[in-house]
Amino acid sequence: MTKVHFIAIGGSVMHQLAIALKIKGYAVSGSDDEIYEPALTNLRQAGILPASFGWDATRITPDIDAVILGMHAREDNPELIRARELNLKIYSFPEYIYQESKDKTRVAVGGSHGKTTTTAMIMHVLQHSQKQFDYLVGAKLEGFSQSVNITDAPVIVCEADEYPASVIEKRPKFHFLHPQIAVLTGIAWDHINVFPTYEIYKEQFAIFIRQMEAGAVLIYNSSDTELSDLVAAEGRHLKLVPYTMPIHMIRNGVTRVFFDEGYADLEVFGGHNLLNMHAAKLVCNELGLTDEEFLAGIATFKGAAKRLELIAKNERSAIYRDFAHAPSKVKATMEAVRQQYPDRQLIAVLELHTYSSLNADFLTQYEGAMAPADIAGVFYSKHALEIKRMPDLDPELVKSRFGRKDLHIFTDRPAFEAFLNAQQYNHTNLLLMSSGTYDGIDFNGLARLLDK
């Protein structure tokens, strides 16, 4: 029996891989200094929750076939040191995914934005078409019990992240997947703590393209001029498949998309989602599905968690939550809601939560991002700045960086909640954008705002 040990098993995708391998029949063990929900319950139910927290070199034995190293494990971790002493095979998460999928058709969805949604669309349609496939995605999806699945299926669909693979493997995760079919959704500078300049960031995508095998399929967003130039320079050895905005129409708040002779009325909306959908369709075509099969599946796609997620609505108003935090994502999400409901007022609040977004210099990238909103706000907590050991942000500086003097600034939850309670929501949409929680706000409880 294959024996696998996870160092830092409690990570959001790490614990999902551990559970997937347990289901596959592997002997799985793991360790971590702390494990939070939902990983704690998930691991306990799978029977692989560590008996105690902390690191213990005696857990590492010569009969272990693979050690998988999580992102927050440090180089002086005693279990990692012991594994090296025993010359065990040590993998980062994406390196191990490749080991498990060498004999599969590998699909990798990369880019600065839209990775999760595009991956989720492909998965949804493949499932609707009753195709067998494995997957790796960075969100909880309706209809899927896990976010990682490893079986004997002939295909694996992977969200391909550009963040470093592990503490001992600094290269981006997506460099290790070696796909036969790849998607690049666009390039917009992010993760400045890892890639301090845009050129360094862009080079990671150039490397990804160069590493693809001759004749592999690269599906890319040709409306992104930076990406198109990069593909033209680096992708001559590949089968290049460009995509742009598909033909569509919006009627009574519902978007209808057209591919070839067919169409589907969608449960999601927004130009960015239509671009993602076109990429997903082209992947499904490469995997043998017709446009008709794709349209039948995509018509029932409700979106990935926290991606334009509907919190509450009535006939006149709606509240949406979105994961958007990087400048390009914020702009795309704002434009989507504005275009879908042109006759409604838009109130939008962005939480600055990531290292990049809380950096005073990087904030210049957000200039004009909140322009589509009639009433706009920015939330950031002192606690988030303290955790990341960053200096305080002056509210006037934030207003200046966003290029909006009437921007509402909130630095604590009570002030933010008071603002929300004071607004009128008749013929109005509220859009909350963050990869965080606004210091623990009750999102489901916000439905009461529409009853005012």
Chain-centre distance for alpha carbon 340: 23
β-strands 309-313, 318-322 pairing:
antiparallel
- pLDDT above 90: residue 82: yes
Reported as a pLDDT band with limits 50, 70 and 90, residue 198 is confident
Letter for the amino acid at 260?
A: D
Helix (H) / strand (E) containing 136:
strand 134-136
Burial class (CB in 10 A: 0-12, 13-18, 19+), 386: exposed
pLDDT score at 315: 87
Q: What is the DSSP letter of 445?
A: G
| String of DSSP letters for 255-269 | EEEEETTEEEE-S--
3-state secondary structure of 420: helix
Residues in the chain: 452
**Under 8 Å between Cβ of 65 and 100:** no
Helix-strand-coil split of the chain, %, nearest 5: 35, 20, 45
Q: What is the DSSP letter of 164?
A: B
Average pLDDT over residues 24-28: 96
pLDDT in tens, 337-358: 988 888 899 999 999 887 777 7
**Under 8 Å between Cβ of 73 and 33:** no
Q: d(Cα 45, Cα 147) in Å, to the nearest integer?
A: 16
3-state secondary structure of 151: coil
Instruction: Quickly count: other Cβ atoms within 10 Å of residue 245's Cβ.
Output: 14
Q: Which residue has the higher pLDDT, 353 or 449?
A: 449
Residue % of the chain over a pLDDT of 70? 98
- pLDDT above 90: residue 161: no
Average pLDDT over residues 390-406: 89
Q: Which residues pair with 318 in a beta bridge?
A: 313, 429
3-state secondary structure of 272: helix
Task: Go through 164-177 and write b for each residue having 16 or more CB atoms within 10 A of its CB, e for each that does not.
Answer: bbbbebebbbbbbb
Encoded tokens for 248? 């569509």
Helix (H) / strand (E) containing 19:
helix 14-24
**Under 8 Å between Cβ of 32 and 69:** no
| String of DSSP letters for 56-84 | -GGG--TT-SEEEE-TT--TT-HHHHHHH
Residue 328 CB contacts under 8 Å (≥ 6 apart), including other chains:
112, 113, 186, 188
Q: What is the DSSP letter of 381?
A: -
Q: d(Cα 371, Cα 349) in Å, to the nearest integer?
A: 12
- pLDDT above 80: residue 167: no
Reference 78, options 59, 50, 106, 97; nearest CA is 59
pLDDT in tens, 270-279: 888 999 999 9
3-state secondary structure of 413: helix
Reported as a pLDDT band with limits 50, 70 and 90, residue 414 is very high
Q: d(Cα 59, Cα 274) in Å, to the nearest integer?
A: 48
pLDDT score at 452: 67
3-state secondary structure of 327: helix
Reference 133, options 160, 104, 153; nearest CA is 153
- pLDDT above 90: residue 227: yes
pLDDT score at 4: 97
Q: d(Cα 245, Cα 224) in Å, to the nearest integer?
A: 11
pLDDT score at 271: 86
Residue written as token pair 């210091």: 439
Q: d(Cα 403, Cα 415) in Å, to the nearest integer?
A: 22
Instruction: Quickly count: other Cβ atoms within 10 Å of residue 408's Cβ.
Output: 17
Encoded tokens for 286? 């490469």
Encoded tokens for 300? 């029932």
Reference 395, options 375, 376, 385, 380; nearest CA is 380
Q: d(Cα 276, Cα 429) in Å, to the nearest integer?
A: 23
Q: d(Cα 388, Cα 266) in Å, to the nearest integer?
A: 40
Reference 394, options 384, 380, 404, 406; nearest CA is 380
pTM score above 0.85: no
**Under 8 Å between Cβ of 133 and 107:** no
**Under 8 Å between Cβ of 320 and 431:** yes
**Under 8 Å between Cβ of 186 and 221:** yes
